[in-house]
A and B are shown apart, each in its own frame.
Chain A
Amino acid sequence: MSEQPHKNVVSLEGVKGELSAFADLVDNTLVSPSGQANLLYIKSVTDAQKISRTIITPFYEMEDMSAYRDYIITYPGSEEGTTVERALELLLSGYAGLAIQSRVYFFDALLSENSSVSQTTTESVTQGPSDGFTENLAINLNLVRRRYQSPQLKMESMLIGNISRTKVAILYDESRVNHEVLAELREKLGTLKVDILQAAGELEKYISSDKLRLIPKTIVTERPDRVVFNLAEGKVALLTDTTGFAIVLPCIFNDFFIAMDDKINLPFVGRFLKLLRIIGVAMTLWLPALYVALTSYNPEIIRIQITLLIAGSRATVPYPSFVEVLIMLLMMEFLTEASIRLPRAVGPTATTVGGLILGQAATEAGLVGNIMIILVAAVAISNFLIPLNMMSFSIRVLKYYFVLAAIVLGLVGIVICFVGFTMYLCSQRSFGQPYFRLFLLDDVMKGQRKGKGGKG
């Protein structure tokens, strides 16, 4: 067989060229008295032990190169390299490439870390994968690579933290990524001077330039499928060692309201769920403020039935409406916060005792109105509709701004606050990308263009 370079003939050098900027690519040359072999594999998807035991050790033990070659060929799962595409495919799916006597063989060395991968805890879905990131970077890379088998998925690695020396991996799809974003990120990480980096959220804080951050501008997620989904959209993922979370950037407001099972559900179900989430956000953000405004400034907006109901339920309440609202909201925040810290066994008890008994007792004692309890419950529940924790926390705090505005100016205050909030969202940029971008408008523009094309 002729040895001239032909596109059908695979050489490890050629494959290696395709996989440039792969920080976890390993290229070894094995030399023994009987001959030499080149070994190429991607560290994060292959099992190092298996490679050492079944490839490297026999190489040094066997006397004859052709015998070693036969051993490799006959090993279950091995195959000979044919095309570069196939070679890339195999390498990315966990094979090790081995060049012996100008022929290339692929050896199955897939690393599967099933045992150590845990289930997601904060972003659960009803259907779909439940793997969550672990605290090991290599495993996390394995989780991503297994779901994104493309040679375009590049990885860069760096160390951050003078003391902690935390490994950080930047992942992106080279054909889809926005290179400006990438350059900005590299620059920011390069100039970062911290001693200790322990959590993804911490890194998120360092790479964001904005001082006053009301809302998260990067997604912190523990779901590999969300990372893969976002990588395919041309975003950049930052994986950090020692933390079970990945950072995805840049991202827009809308991204925070996508749950990973929206894609799995039927389209109309998915849209309904998304609508529910948006209504939930509106409720949790505005209900307490509206209560203050409607009971203390503008009772004309609600119907007389409700007006009298609220007035009746407030008859025994000694303090003005906003004190009532703030007391109950704080009580609710205490409960939520406490149930995170409490041991698992005690958690449900605490929420029951807190939620039911406290609420019941507070109304019976006449400290808060009945309507208030319903309202606080609705606010607490709807807050958890937001699939991503960072946004959920932001919204949780933001509602106090609205309450404050309502205390000062009533309904007018809420409107002013709403306008200000919208302006703030519109002025935000996440790594140069407009944060409050409406894809609806894009679709409309596209539709127009299509329409024009059809006419012409």
Chain B
Amino acid sequence: MKRWLLAIMLVLLLFTGGCDFKDIDRRIFVVAIGVDAGEKEGHFKISLKMALPQGEITKIDEKVQILTEESFSISEAVRRMKSRVEKELDFVHCKSIILGEGLAQKDIRHIMDWAVRRRDLQLILHVAVGRPDALKVLQVKPQSERIPSNSLIMAMSGQGTESPFITKVFSFQLMRNIYEKGLDPILPIIEARGQEEFVINKIALFDKHRIRETLTPNETRLFNLLSRKNLRTNLPAFYKGEMYQYYTEQSTSAYRIFTPGGGKPTLRYRIKIKGILEESSNEDIVTQSLLKEIGAAGEEDLRKKIHALLRKIQASHQDPLGWGLRYGARHFNNRTEMDNWNDLYAQLRFQVDVRVNIKYSGVTK
């Protein structure tokens, strides 16, 4: 009896669906998706960047195929593209989706809905905005690239470059933030410069579903300083007409939202940086006391810039750093906390405390 049950179970296992036998050489791997607004109203222009495997491993020469299809539905476009290639489209290695800037200025919800419903790519997909459009970004082929679209994936996921200007955003994160109260989504902007270069150094602030404001590279770096721990970057300090640059070895940022007695609601940021002097415009000997002065100058400079950034964010009525979420969580009454926050936000004052400690001149003498 037991034996029979076992045999039946084994036979039943043969009919399990979901996983089907298809050899790796009969699949074609999509490594990046680009989505632009279509020519017709309400249509999308979907571009798939596919990696073609190499026969000879020793002679690596990246081969890419980009397919473009326009349709009112993304699934429809993908199905149509399936009949344009001889192999099965496989999305399991698709780690990036680029949304064209034109589309991102209108509405990204439809696309994101598709991206997070696909079970094969919902957890691995990084999202970015492409400028001037997604297809142009997909067509970029840097010289250092050996594997199709690898540079894009490396840069967007932060596995390769540790640039202070890049923020990585997963698709599920983006989707969550679209529907989160008191926290607005952001996306990095990838700009294509010709055929061989792209640059990622700006952040787009989203009004839930469309771009509302764009941060400049410098603002992007400061934004990352506020949102991340231990951002590795250089920051300037101007002391007695000389320019110094210091490298941040450690950085932390914390904030509090409070209303002082009788005063206006205030948001106070505290930023602590431990740094090393990296560059100096003169040849003077750097002493410990000079390091302190440079630190103080750096604090002043950083304080002003961050203050300006915070005011810019406030002016755009966005909340990319999740202040509202924090406020709501700490003033929770189940009814009015978010309304209170909305009233509060407009009249919020900012206070920035920066402490820069430059501990080492960087030179051995």
Interface residues of A (CB under 8 A from B): 294-300, 304-305, 307-317, 320-321, 370, 407-413, 416
Contact = CB atoms under 8 A, between A and B. Distances in A.
Interface in B71-123: 90, 92-93, 95, 120
Contacts of B175: none
A403 B55 CA distance: 26
B147 A304 contact: yes
A363 to B, nearest CB: 11
Nearest to B20: A297
Contact of B55 (A294, A315, A320): A315
A413 B20 CA distance: 12
Contacts of B56: 312
A314 B147 CA distance: 17
A308 B29 contact: yes
Interface string B25-62: 10101010000000000000000000101111100000
Interface string B1-43: 0000000000001101001111111010101000000000000
Given A304-B147, A311-B27, A416-B13, A296 B22 contact: yes
B19 A297 contact: yes
B24 A307 contact: yes
Contact of A320 (B21, B54, B153): B21
A296 B19 CA distance: 10
Please give me the 7 A-B residue pairs with the lowest Cβ-Cβ distance, nearest first. Answer: A300-B92, A311-B53, A312-B53, A312-B54, A295-B24, A314-B25, A304-B93
A296 B25 CA distance: 9
A309 B24 CA distance: 10
A187 to B, nearest CB: 28
Chain A interface, DSSP helix/strand/loop, else mixed: helix
B22 A409 contact: no
Given A308-B147, A412-B19, A315 B25 contact: yes
Nearest to B95: A304
27 contacts: A294-B24, A295-B23, A295-B24, A296-B21, A298-B19, A299-B93, A300-B92, A300-B93, A300-B120, A304-B51, A305-B147, A307-B93, A308-B54, A308-B148, A309-B53, A311-B27, A311-B29, A311-B53, A312-B57, A313-B57, A314-B25, A370-B57, A408-B14, A409-B16, A409-B19, A410-B19, A412-B16
Chain B interface, DSSP helix/strand/loop, else mixed: loop
Given A299-B29, A410-B21, 13 more contacts: A294-B24, A296-B21, A296-B22, A297-B19, A308-B51, A312-B54, A313-B57, A314-B23, A409-B16, A409-B19, A412-B16, A412-B19, A413-B13
B73 to A, nearest CB: 25
Contact of B24 (A299, A411, A412, A413): A299
Nearest to B62: A308
Interface residues of B, number: 28
A304 B31 contact: yes
Given A312-B54, A416-B13, A307 B29 contact: yes
Contacts of A304: 29, 31, 51, 93, 95, 147, 150, 153
A321 B24 contact: yes
Interface of B: 13-14, 16, 19-25, 27, 29, 31, 51, 53-57, 90, 92-93, 95, 120, 147-148, 150, 153
B55 A316 contact: yes
Nearest to A293: B19
A311 B13 contact: no
Interface centre among B13, B53, B147 (most CB of A within 10 A): B53
B278 to A, nearest CB: 34
A420 to B, nearest CB: 10
A316 B54 CA distance: 11
A405 to B, nearest CB: 9
A61 B54 CA distance: 93
Given A305-B147, A312-B57, A316-B55, A299 B21 contact: no
A417 B351 CA distance: 62
Nearest to A294: B24
A317 B55 CA distance: 11
Nearest to A295: B24
A296 B16 contact: no
Contacts of B153: 304
A206 to B, nearest CB: 25
A317 B16 contact: no
A311 B87 CA distance: 12
Contact of B23 (A298, A321, A411): A321
Contacts of B51: 304, 308
Contact of B53 (A297, A308, A320): A308
Nearest to A303: B93
B262 to A, nearest CB: 59
Given A305-B147, A409-B16, A409-B19, A296 B24 contact: yes
Contact of A299 (B13, B14, B92, B147): B92
B24 A314 contact: yes
B120 A310 contact: no
Contacts of A315: 25, 53, 55
Interface centre among A296, A316, A321, A416 (most CB of B within 10 A): A296
Nearest to A305: B147
A412 B24 CA distance: 17
Interface centre among B22, B23, B54, B148 (most CB of A within 10 A): B23
B27 A299 contact: yes
Contacts of B24: 294-296, 299, 307, 310-311, 314, 321
Given A311-B27, A410-B19, A412-B16, A299 B90 contact: yes
A370 B56 CA distance: 10
B163 to A, nearest CB: 22
A297 B57 CA distance: 23
A294 B92 CA distance: 12
